[in-house]
Structure 1
């Protein structure tokens, strides 16, 4: 069942989404080689609680951590732990919060130190494809238009577009209808109506699209061991132009000010 939001509910969701953005910006300030990913989890949890919200992910279907940290060939759902970041790593940090009963949920991929050009290009292209997909999230378009736009932009560079995991509707539940694939056919699927709120989140592999889930039941890795990149925004369908509820501006500012990170545009 699809829940279309009122304007007042959309504004509440914007508050939740912006808290996620602020949390990701705080994380961007501390990322460096030698940092254990569990330290990122601790920082995020404290920041979210201090701002009157709770982490969406903690104990969600048994997930044991407050945020998701997916390093290199981990596509999504990576566990924070004692693993330390290294120069040349990429890390996707996915954060969710519940505030005023509504969820915010988005992700950003960071480059630690100096990475190969092919990695930087993958990060840049995936991020571009997120906004290309968002451009299609307007009244009168269809769900397949979003997926097609993301798929086309990445596949023309030879990248693998993950099929097994997709974006989703968002509201009082973290995962609402509809599912929002990063692939599709123009003019197909659900007709988009005003105030549908979605998490649009391309998951793009340097190699093939195939993935597998580890024995922990959560961690998703690329089948060929090549890196994967994940970006995500919370988006509200509007007439003419989509409304992005989350904000990469503070994250990018922190990223540019951290000498340990490589900004990819």
Structure 2
């Protein structure tokens, strides 16, 4: 499936550290030279930071990598009855940076749900609350009007959401992912096993109906986030799997309408998880973006 070998889930888990965030245990990872430029990786829904495992070693050779499983995801705490919020997840990213003492201008690489957290961080950059150096988005619902959620996401938002979450299974995960990965880049059984372990850990399905509230929250924040993206001088690029039915070619078309001098890359035949489906291509286009920016500096 990939030219980049990646990291086995158990090995990945062992490399993690723990941060206390507002009384909740958050699992996080740091790699690379402490003196290298900081790069914060922000994962999507319903997965976790292991999504970056194929890119981790090649990026760590160049940058100081920082990533966490956000509240409600992966190996982090999944409190029941919690009002999960994208704004709180942005607070978590800032708390993680403070915890590890990282105060330099920050590069972002985000995917899916993480794109929304990155949009909030861009808005905070515009407000002077932190300093960003660049942002690259992978497939995600940057604009609510172009986000086409899969059926299980719609069901989770409805009145049967708690039940739908509890009934979520590895089989249902595999069915959903089969529809959103590219036809030639489907997840292997081993990958699906690992992704399911991350969802299932700490009874994760019991909070999925609460996590999914990010979809209406995106609509509430749309104007603030899009205005910040239109106004910012932070260099941005979209690297997008074109085949993705959730946020593929149609999302990139909208991005080009709304963002001046839009820098976009479409990966033909690739679905919603380009970092798992085509990691070598994502790495190539990411490094090209960074090289172009550093040569202009």
> Does TM, normalized by the shorter one, top 0.5?
no
Bigger relative contact order, structure 1 or 2 (CA pairs below 8 A, ≥6 apart): 1
TM-score by length of 1: 0.30
Which protein is richer in helix relative to its size?
2
Which protein is richer in strand relative to its size?
1
